[in-house]
Amino acid sequence: MNILKNSDLKIIRGLDLSIEMQDITISYNDVGEGNTPIIFLHGFPFDKSSWQPQISYFQKTNRVIAYDIRGFGKSTSGNIKESISLFADDLIYFMDGLKIEKAIVCGLSMGGYILLNAMARFPERFEALILSDTQCLSDSPEMKEKRNQSIKKINENGYAEFAENFAQAVFCANTIKTKQAVVEKIKQVILSTSTKTVIGTLNALAQRWEMCTSLINIAVPVLIICGTEDKVTPLAQSEYLHDNIANSTLHSIANAGHMSNLEQPEEFNRHVEDFISAISN
């Protein structure tokens, strides 16, 4: 693994690079060439490998970057309490470390929460947004209690049951039936995440701010994508984003649940490609 410090960073492209920033080391992939990078932010509790179909496709025409959020994948967790705002700060520090002034950023689920938080505070850093299977709401009291119960069960019974249930919840029935290798890979990614990170991030998700009131201020182009069978952040939430973000486009993807980029990668990539082409002209 190549570890770089911000002070001596050179433009190195490849897989499983690392950069030291603040209190952590971030693991990332940086491949392809292009004027405006596309940065992919994974959801909870996944890692950068969940973007492999996008990295493989877009590196032919664009500079594409995917990194492990702190505590996930090969990134270290640091000593600061997890929060969506902290993850958003990390995104900006990461861009600074790679000397990226502006980027197109794509966030799925929690990645979308991070992106909306960062956009509200650092709007000048974004050329465009891609919001996939996400929402602007904060957790309801019922959802907070559900997360608290998950934490309790993990502490009492371990992590395996949570991982199995979560892997089943994020995919639609057709994917579970026809793409078992994809489902199993994601389950293994979930299992590889430390219990400390999972519990800390569940608390961060429960305590996150609502971002719905900030949507009116988004002035850059926005692509919204959602699986029609997403039960975690249903299509209605993406429709709300579309209704409240002025310069936005919404595409729903059939036969996809919460992981639309993995369940129907060709269609997901086509929507992203069309969006990037439109804003580049």
DSSP string, 119-164: HHH-GGGEEEEEEES--SPPPPHHHHHHHHHHHHHHHHH-SHHHHH
Question: Using omega within 30 degrees of 0 as the cis cutoff, is the peptide bond preceding 45 cis?
Answer: yes
Is pLDDT at 9 greater than 90 in this prediction? no
How high is the pLDDT of residue 205?
Answer: 98
- Per-residue pLDDT band at 281 (split at 50, 70, 90): confident
Percent of the chain with pLDDT over 90: 92
Q: Is the pLDDT of residue 2 over 60?
A: no
Q: Which of 2-6, 226-230, 243-247, 266-270 has the least mean pLDDT? A: 2-6
**DSSP track, 91-122:** HHHHHHHTT-S-EEEEEETHHHHHHHHHHHH-
Average confidence (pLDDT) over 220-226: 98
Report the chain's mean pLDDT, rounded to a whole number: 95
In this prediction, residue 136 has a pLDDT band, given cuts at 50, 70 and 90, of: very high
Residue 1 pLDDT exceeds 90: no
Q: Which residue has the higher pLDDT, 78 or 22?
A: 78
- The pLDDT value recorded for residue 4 is 45
Residue 206 — pLDDT band, cuts 50, 70, 90? very high
- Read off the pLDDT of each residue in 56-63 and give the average, rounded to a whole number: 96
Q: CA 160 to CA 187: how far, in whole Å?
A: 9
What pLDDT, on a 0 to 100 scale, did the predictor assign at position 3? 42
Percent of the chain with pLDDT over 70: 96
Residue 10: pLDDT above 70?
A: no
Residue 5 confidence (pLDDT) above 80? no
Under the banding of pLDDT at 50, 70 and 90, the label for residue 7 is: very low
Distance CA 99, CA 10 (A): 10
Non-local CB neighbours of 162 within 8 Å, separated by 6+ positions: 150, 153, 154, 190, 198
DSSP, residue by residue, 34-58: -SS-EEEE--TT--GGGGHHHHHHH
Q: Indicate if the pLDDT at residue 8 is higher than 70.
A: no
Q: Which domains does the chain have, with CATH numbers?
A: 2-139+209-280 (3.40.50.1820)
Cα end-to-end distance, the chain, whole Å:
38
- Sheet containing 2-5: which strands, arranged edge to edge? 2-5, 14-21, 24-31, 64-67, 38-41, 103-108, 126-132, 222-227, 248-253
What does the pLDDT average to over 187-199? 96
| Average pLDDT of the residues in 31-59 | 96
Separation CA 174–CA 177 (nearest Å): 5
pLDDT average, residue stretch 100-128 = 98
pLDDT at 199: 97
